[in-house]
Amino acid sequence: MSHRLPQAASKVYRMSRPITMIDLFAGCGGMTAGFVAAEGYKPIMAVELERAAAATYAANFGESHMHWGDIAQVPDENIPQADLIIGGPPCQGFSNLGSRDVNDPRNELWKEYIRFVRHARPKVFVIENVDRFRKSSEFELLQAEVRDGGLLEEYELTHELLLAADYGAPQRRKRTIVIGSRIGKIPMPEPSHEPAGLLGKVSWRTVRDAIAGLPEKPTDTELPKRTSTVFGTSIPGPFKSTELHIRRNPTERSLERYDHIPPGGGRFDLPDHLLSRCWREKKTGTTDVMGRMRWDQPSLTIRTEFYKPEKGQYLHPQWDPDNPAKRVNRPITHREAARLQTFPDEFVWHGTKIEIARQIGNAVPPVLAQAIAVHLKPFIQGAVPRPREQREAAVVA
């Protein structure tokens, strides 16, 4: 199976120039990867604070338009005009796994996003965030800004919780997507996949689709000793995706735990003598901890510490109930996580093992971004009539 992003399904809509795009809080470039794969989009600026993530973005999409640094330090006069702004302001304060601290300063960074929208004046902007973002006080303030007299009063918002599996990712990852438009309200893209492949849609992609065929026993435990100069500083990499297939060295006790857990199982499958004290005392919740994936289902959400089975359902899916020799008792590798996030195999990476894992887990699955990009293109290019144009056409008729 090919592990490249699919080409855009339609080439009907074309402009005399590409759709210019700014990516804020760009990370390693998951959203940009999807929009570029949709064809017709040209990144002209990206902003990212984390050096390794910015270097990964630069290695794949170009260093000249990447601003590595604090978004608040980008002067207004340096913000170019653009057709589109995309990005996901940091969401740790909203995350179910975080502190849920409404005063977390990272939650304020969406205001910098608005500053860019005010100065770049895009036709459309897209915000990606965690599922709980729509219930946050920050989202309420964002909605207030599109009302009369607000900073974004020209724009109309559409927002919805999208499941990445419904758009071709082999992963049940839920994300809030907000589309702001000053060219008429834009609906969300229709799902292209569904669990059983009914109603003319394609079946969900599975863990098997993503990682089957990769070596079950990786030989390396470390990335190659390689550095390069990016932004005038030395940084590990670039590394090919094939070089990310690295294993850990679990203890004998960990291996014994892994061996007891079947596909779809977790810490509740462990015998008492293998339970940690916290697990023994916590009888409910955290059901995906020490979990094993299923071959023929999408994975659960790939987070930033996917290499730690105690953090979620991250054990390799191969497990034979009758033959222990046919069990793969290890967490997924960085390469497998990148595949489950739908990064193409030709993508290259910068950073340490931990930094690259963080980039993978924090990214928007490129195929989800691509589905959004393909959907937005005709609206931005003017191929879909605006509401006013529809009314005028009705009067003429």
Give the residue numbers marked as catalytic: 91
- Reading the block at residue 101, the tokens are 């601290």
CA distances from 109 to 13, 70, 196 (A): 34, 10, 40
Under DSSP, is residue 384 helix (H, G, I), strand (E, B) or coil? coil
Nearest residue to 367 via CA among 334, 337, 340? 340
Under DSSP, is residue 68 helix (H, G, I), strand (E, B) or coil? strand
Which residues contact residue 225 at a Cβ distance below 8 angstroms, ignoring those fewer than 6 apart?
none
Nearest residue to 73 via CA among 92, 51, 48? 48
- State how far the Cα of 307 lies from the Cα of 244, in Å rounded to an integer: 12
Convert 124-187 into a string of H (helix), E (strand) and C (coil).
Answer: EEEEEEEHHHHHCHHHHHHHHHCCCCCCCCCCEEEEEEEEHHHHCCCECCEEEEEEEECCCCCC
Nearest residue to 314 via CA among 339, 292, 297? 292
